[in-house]
């Protein structure tokens, strides 16, 4: 199949009619863009997650439903031939209403996915109709026909071989005839149940779909003109990065830079698809190119911040000079499907952080039963309200002297955990949520300004 471009638009990019119209111009300006992946309209997923967590107060439920309806109504009111799209959207809103009622009685991860998927299912009706009214031959495609996942609701694992086959059969031929508008974030398992890839998952969807149709480029259109040296909302003097390598950008995404879902670059790297990140509000400002090899590889590239971290500290005198202790710990964690993120050890204790949470949101928790089993082995402490700060760069494990600069800058901060050495691309540490932003600001001033 001939090479083409996949463009992904995030929630703020499709927030309302004006924002969607800017997306349309971006799509129209690049004739190679044949496939468009859209998020839900800004704010909608949060409202749906609240409903999915179970709202028993009928008044609050109606309030949330009204808010969701009005976001979509406002776009419909700008369309000239909105009847068909409106009928589809009202049908989905009916589903939202009944699922929200069911969740208020008994919430579940499966139900959550079914419910939150409705955001993307609605926004794509609007974007496709808006495009058609501008004279583009756009068709809406339900990505659940292609984006096959396992049944881990809230954080489903894509099934790559199935996605590739289904994309080749169903999606690629459609893209040769039309501009295809489809949903990010959602998929379906082998039984046809709706699944989601976790919050912010539309970036990952776009990359998986780009891989599936063997696209030659992937554009991620968001609300900032590219990847910055740190979140510009945290450090206003952060500056855009013109070009960055896959490994550096992957580290940033993994360590919490919200600009990209952590898994986004895995498919792009696998198929060597260059990724562009830009602002749909200000496309003329350019953006960041993520490529296999960037021209520069500075020691310090960026700072990333990941909040909502949970740290578990396990202490036992039996650990001293013994073998097999960590194996037992990890056996318990594996049995409860708990994924560990960072880890540090000393003679009699080990601290670890629990991996990111799923679509339902909140800090990762240590399940009661897992805690009980660990307590049979050792003393268990759980700390919440922590933030992970990562300094990302190149050749860090081989460079001298910079740790003094970093830790000197942070001398007034209580660092709860430090990880360094495993990757040449990062140095990271945990500190309390309340001081994490000021730590980022101080480090940014010292290392990047």
Query: Cβ(150)–Cβ(113) under 8 Å?
Result: no
With DSSP H G I counted as helix, E B as strand and the rest as coil, what are the percentages for the chain, rounded to 5?
A: 40, 25, 35
For position 201 contacting ligand ASP by CB under 6 A, the verdict is yes
For position 247 contacting ligand ASP by CB under 6 A, the verdict is no
Q: Identify what 336 binds: ligand ASP, ligand ADP, Mg ion, none; CB under 5 to 8 Å per kind.
A: none
Rounded Cα distance, 177 and 171, in Å:
10
Place of tokens 């990724």: 275
- Interface with ligand ASP in residues 95-134 (CB under 6 A): 119
Q: Which stretch binds ligand ASP (CB under 6 A): 26-34, 195-203, 296-304, 417-425?
A: 195-203
Nearer to Mg ion, 204 or 448 (CB): 204
Q: Which stretch binds ligand ADP (CB under 6 A): 50-58, 98-106, 164-172, 225-233?
A: 225-233
Nearer to Mg ion, 11 or 158 (CB): 11
What does each C-alpha distance from 132 to 127, 179, 187 come to in angstroms?
A: 9, 10, 25
Place of tokens 């996949």: 6
For position 278 contacting ligand ADP by CB under 6 A, the verdict is no
- Interface with ligand ADP in residues 157-216 (CB under 6 A): 200
As given in the structure block, the two tokens for residue 423 are 């990757």
Q: Which stretch binds Mg ion (CB under 5 A): 5-13, 109-117, 293-301, 400-408?
A: 5-13
Place of tokens 């140095």: 427
- Interface with ligand ASP in residues 37-56 (CB under 6 A): 39-40, 45
Residue 149 DSSP label: B
Q: Identify what 124 binds: Mg ion, ligand ADP, ligand ASP, none; CB under 5 to 8 Å per kind.
A: none
For position 185 contacting ligand ASP by CB under 6 A, the verdict is yes
* Contacts for 297 with CB less than 8 Å, ≥ 6 apart: 245, 248, 394, 395
- Interface with Mg ion in residues 191-220 (CB under 5 A): 200
Q: Identify what 40 binds: ligand ADP, ligand ASP, Mg ion, none; CB under 5 to 8 Å per kind.
A: ligand ASP
Nearer to ligand ADP, 39 or 351 (CB): 39
User: Minimum distance from CB of 205 to ligand ASP (Å)?
Assistant: 8
Of 251, 264, 111, 124, residue with least CA distance to 193:
111
* Contacts for 104 with CB less than 8 Å, ≥ 6 apart: 54, 55, 56, 61
Binding residues for ATP, by number, are: 8-11, 222-223, 228, 233
8-27 mask for ligand ADP (x: CB under 6 A)? Answer: --xxxx--------------
Rounded Cα distance, 109 and 189, in Å:
14
Taking CB under 6 A as the criterion, the residue among 133, 145, 223, 243 binding ligand ADP is 223
Give me the sign of the Cα torsion angle 372, 377, 383, 388: negative
For position 10 contacting ligand ASP by CB under 6 A, the verdict is yes
Query: Cβ(337)–Cβ(371) under 8 Å?
Result: no
For position 228 contacting ligand ADP by CB under 6 A, the verdict is yes
Taking CB under 6 A as the criterion, the residue among 134, 233, 237, 292 binding ligand ADP is 233
Rounded Cα distance, 251 and 239, in Å:
18
User: Minimum distance from CB of 184 to Mg ion (Å)?
Assistant: 9
Angle CA 381–199–3, to nearest 5: 135
Query: Where is 306: in which H helix or E strand?
Result: strand 300-315
Place of tokens 């990271």: 428
Number of residue whose CB is nearest ligand ASP: 202
Rounded Cα distance, 304 and 387, in Å:
10
User: Minimum distance from CB of 19 to ligand ADP (Å)?
Assistant: 11
Q: Which stretch binds Mg ion (CB under 5 A): 3-11, 77-85, 284-292, 348-356?
A: 3-11
* Contacts for 394 with CB less than 8 Å, ≥ 6 apart: 248, 297, 298, 299, 301, 424, 425
Query: Cβ(132)–Cβ(79) under 8 Å?
Result: no
20-39 mask for ligand ASP (x: CB under 6 A)? Answer: -------------------x
Q: Which stretch binds ligand ASP (CB under 6 A): 93-101, 153-161, 194-202, 234-242?
A: 194-202
Number of residue whose CB is nearest Mg ion: 200
Under DSSP, is residue 377 helix (H, G, I), strand (E, B) or coil? coil
Binding residues for substrate, by number, are: 45, 120
Query: Where is 125: in which H helix or E strand?
Result: helix 118-133
**Which residues are at the interface with ligand ASP (CB under 6 A)?**
10-11, 39-40, 45, 119, 184-185, 199-202
**Which residues are at the interface with ligand ADP (CB under 6 A)?**
10-13, 39, 200, 222-224, 227-228, 230-233, 257-259, 302
**Which residues are at the interface with Mg ion (CB under 5 A)?**
10, 200
């Amino acid at each position: 199949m001939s090479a083409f471009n996949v463009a992904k638009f995030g929630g703020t990019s499709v927030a309302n009619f004006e924002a969607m119209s800017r997306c349309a111009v971006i799509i129209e300006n690049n004739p190679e863009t044949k496939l468009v992946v859209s998020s839900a309209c800004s704010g909608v997923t949060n409202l749906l997650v609240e409903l999915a967590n179970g709202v028993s107060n009928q008044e609050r439920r109606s309030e949330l439903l009204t808010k969701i309806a009005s976001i979509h109504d406002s776009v419909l009111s700008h369309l000239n031939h909105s009847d068909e799209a409106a009928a589809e959207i009202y049908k989905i809103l009916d589903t939202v209403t009944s699922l929200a009622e069911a969740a208020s009685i008994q919430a579940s991860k499966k139900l959550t996915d079914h419910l939150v998927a409705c955001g993307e299912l609605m926004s794509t009706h609007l974007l496709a109709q808006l495009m058609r009214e501008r004279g583009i031959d756009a068709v809406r495609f339900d990505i659940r026909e292609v984006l096959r996942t396992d049944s881990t609701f809230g954080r489903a694992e894509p099934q790559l071989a199935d996605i590739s086959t289904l994309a080749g059969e169903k999606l690629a031929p459609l893209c040769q005839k039309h501009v295809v508008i489809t949903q990010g974030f959602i998929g379906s398992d082998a039984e046809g149940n709706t699944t989601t890839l976790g919050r912010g998952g539309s970036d990952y969807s776009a990359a998986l779909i780009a891989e599936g149709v063997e696209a030659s480029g992937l554009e991620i259109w968001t609300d900032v003109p590219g990847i910055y040296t740190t979140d510009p909302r945290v450090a206003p003097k952060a500056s855009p990065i013109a070009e960055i390598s896959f490994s550096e950008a992957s580290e940033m995404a993994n360590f919490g830079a919200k600009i990209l879902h952590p898994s986004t670059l895995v498919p792009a790297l696998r198929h060597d698809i260059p990724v562009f990140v830009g602002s749909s509000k200000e496309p003329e400002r350019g953006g960041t190119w993520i490529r296999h090899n960037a021209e520069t590889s500075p020691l310090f590239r960026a700072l990333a911040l990941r909040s909502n971290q949970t740290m578990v500290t396990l202490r036992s005198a039996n650990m001293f000079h013994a073998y097999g202790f960590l194996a037992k710990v990890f056996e318990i964690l594996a049995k409860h499907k708990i994924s560990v993120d960072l880890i540090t050890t000393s003679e009699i204790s080990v601290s670890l952080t629990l991996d990111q949470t799923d679509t339902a949101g909140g800090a990762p928790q240590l399940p009661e039963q897992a805690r009980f089993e660990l307590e049979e082995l050792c003393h268990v402490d759980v700390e919440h309200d922590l933030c992970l700060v990562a300094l990302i760069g190149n050749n860090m494990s081989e460079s001298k002297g910079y740790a003094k600069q970093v830790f000197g800058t942070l001398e007034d901060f209580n660092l709860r955990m430090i990880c360094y050495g495993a990757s040449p691309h990062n140095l990271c540490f945990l500190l309390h949520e309340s001081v994490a932003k000021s730590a980022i600001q101080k480090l940014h001033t010292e290392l990047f300004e």
